[in-house]
Chains A and B, each alone.
Chain A
Amino acid sequence: MNDPAMIQVRYKLQRDDFALDVDVGLPMQGITGVFGASGAGKTTLLRCIAGLESAAESRLIVAGDAWEDSNSGVSRSVQARNVGYVFQEPRLFDHLTVRSNIEYGRKRREQNGTASFDRVIDLLGLESLLSRSPAELSGGEAQRVAIARALLCAPRFVLMDEPLASLDQARRDEILPFLDRLHAESSIPIVYVSHNIEEVCRLCDHLIVIEGGRVVANGELQDVLVRTDVAAVGGDHAGSVIEGTVAGHDDNDDLTELKFSGGTLWVPGETVAIGAPLRLRIRAADVSLCRARPDDTTILNVLPAVIDSIEPAAGPSTLIRLVIGDERIVARVTRRSIRELDLKAGDDLFAQIKSVAVRSCRESDAEVLADRI
């Protein structure tokens, strides 16, 4: 309960149209995704943690320090909580320059030297924007400034509330590489709220799923994604994430070879150095199963797999969890196929993976790009 590496969060509150009842531990490292549909209570939870919202029952223990406890009456003010908060909209101060915006929190909090100004500016590519006014920034640039501002207010951790939700796809694609870099290079823990599974798969290490104000799953990203019994991660967007190492590039076919514990995967050519870690997302709908290894298929990636479990379901199709090496992936298969092939847990078979999506380079891309073969 007083684990130094955890943020213990307990909030219970009732609003007119919705209730939140959460008791969960968040790791104080890496990026923790808080995933769920709109209206599930993600934003309210984040606002409670930041001290912007009050709850009937509350307990917030950050690395052993009680920040809030409704039983003993402890409640630190927003100002005294030392968390960075990135809102859905940038909320920059229009009367100040970009530099003054970023320095606003820095000047008001005692710095412990974890994040230096120059490093954050460099990480988020803000050097050329510092003297501008917020009105002169694009939506994506403004959100990058807001992220820098939050990182530089000496936070114990940073809360991000769907920072990309108000941006169009092009702007998101512009910011995501910066978040990748942040993930790889920054030691500040981040709690990242999102209803976009692809963002979560790309950025997070740990995942909490919220449904109707309650936590329905909590664990390592890979473990939660293969929870076929959790509706939020098991719907049309069901998929899994595996991590491997780049083993080589085939420049003729523009493919990259990735090694992981279950074998080798060929993925579309990536500008990543050999030996670099790479994260892949495999959608359940892109995985099919066969009893015998097919030798006349167009699909490049066919791997031996063992059925771990088959989720009972009423619809036309259901999810099967497979073990490949040390990794688990999920496949969406029709119930008819399961019956006709007589599939059951423990069966050995072959998984065909049609395509992989969402790659995340988790090393400094500058170096990696230079090493491109």
Chain B
Amino acid sequence: MDSLFSPLWLSIQLATITTVLLLAIATPIAWWLAQSESRWKPLIQTIVAMPIVLPPTVMGFYLLILLGPAGALGSWWVDLTGSALTFSFAGLVIASCIYSLPFAVQPLSVAFESLGRTKLEAAWTLGASRTDAFFTVAVPLSLRGYLGAVVLSFAHTLGEFGVVLMVGGNIPGETRVVSIAIYDQVESLNYAAAHQLSALLLIVAFGALLAMFFVNRRWRR
């Protein structure tokens, strides 16, 4: 039983860490996208959205090269820590952050855009610095965007398969997340175990989305 559910626990850890990191990464990107009138904006939007349309194996392949001991990021990591990024939990976290980035950026930039400048201008005239106004006005008024970003990044990371397989492989306790474990169980015709894990994921995903839509409705007033 323990070994059956340990991939689930690993997935939850991965999704949690990824979601937290993504909120920090996606916030400035989404803010910039919502405010900027730069001509480079479509380019940045495209890059951020790429993981939505790219086959996970393609993403995984390039990430494998990037994170591998010979890759730009991978070799730097080896110099820093002495161990490789590929086939490690740290590598999975980086890959997940890139893979789930659009799912965090999208709801946030929608929220920031609909907020507009009006309330921020009011805060500035009241003496709030730009940073102060961002944290005391923009963020609290964009909570729905943050809720969407959290739920979507978490759920999306929880369910990723192709990228994990390419970058992380299937090392128990290290990179063997729940989606890989389900695939393994099916491969070895162990349908009962596959059922248990799949049903659990189904319930978690359904519950998370349902909760999000319920809260959204309450906040809409």
Output the nearest chain A residue to B118 by Cβ-Cβ distance. A91
- CB pair A149–B126 under 8 Å, yes or no, is yes
Complex-state Cα separation, A79 to B121, whole angstroms: 10
CB distance from B195 to the nearest CB of A (A): 44
Instruction: Tell me, yes or no, whether B212 is within 8 Å of chain A by CB.
Output: no
B contact residues around A108 at 8 Å (CB): 126-128, 132
- CB pair B119–A91 under 8 Å, yes or no, is yes
* A 65-90 binary contact with B (CB < 8 Å = 1; else 0): 00000000000001101111101010
Instruction: Tell me, yes or no, whether A287 is within 8 Å of chain B by CB.
Output: no
B contact residues around A135 at 8 Å (CB): 221
A contact residues around B110 at 8 Å (CB): none
Contact partner, A94, options B123, B124, B141, Cβ 8 Å: B141
Output the nearest chain A residue to B125 by Cβ-Cβ distance. A85
* A 31-60 binary contact with B (CB < 8 Å = 1; else 0): 000000000000000000010100000000
Max count, chain A CB within 10 A of own CB: residue among B119, B126, B140, B143:
B126
- CB pair A84–B125 under 8 Å, yes or no, is yes
B contact residues around A150 at 8 Å (CB): 125-126
Max count, chain B CB within 10 A of own CB: residue among A93, A94, A135, A153:
A93
- CB pair A104–B126 under 8 Å, yes or no, is yes
- The number of residue pairs between A and B whose CB atoms lie closer than 8 Å in the complex comes to 56
Residues of B contacting A: mostly: helix
Within B115-150, which residues are at the interface with A (CB < 8 Å)?
Answer: 118-119, 121-129, 132, 136-137, 140-141, 143
Contact partner, A83, options B119, B125, B132, B143, Cβ 8 Å: B125
Interface range on chain B (Cβ under 8 Å from partner): 10 to 19
B contact residues around A91 at 8 Å (CB): 118-119, 121-122
Within A186-241, which residues are at the interface with B (CB < 8 Å)?
Answer: none
B contact residues around A30 at 8 Å (CB): none
Say yes or no: A79-B128 contact (C-beta < 8 A), given A93-B119, A104-B123.
yes
Instruction: Tell me, yes or no, whether A291 is within 8 Å of chain B by CB.
Output: no
CB distance from A55 to the nearest CB of B (A): 17
Instruction: Tell me, yes or no, whether A95 is within 8 Å of chain B by CB.
Output: yes
CB distance from A148 to the nearest CB of B (A): 12
B contact residues around A94 at 8 Å (CB): 141
- CB pair A104–B124 under 8 Å, yes or no, is no
B contact residues around A87 at 8 Å (CB): 118, 121-122
CB distance from A92 to the nearest CB of B (A): 8
- CB pair B132–A50 under 8 Å, yes or no, is no
Q: Can you list 6 contacts pairing A with B, beta carbon distance less than 8 Å?
A: A52-B121, A78-B124, A79-B127, A81-B125, A87-B118, A105-B126
Inter-chain pairs besides A104-B123, A105-B126, A105-B127, 4 sampled, C-beta below 8 Å: A78-B121, A78-B124, A93-B137, A149-B126
- Those 7 A-B pairs whose CB atoms lie nearest each other, nearest first: A105-B126, A108-B127, A85-B125, A91-B122, A95-B140, A78-B124, A109-B127
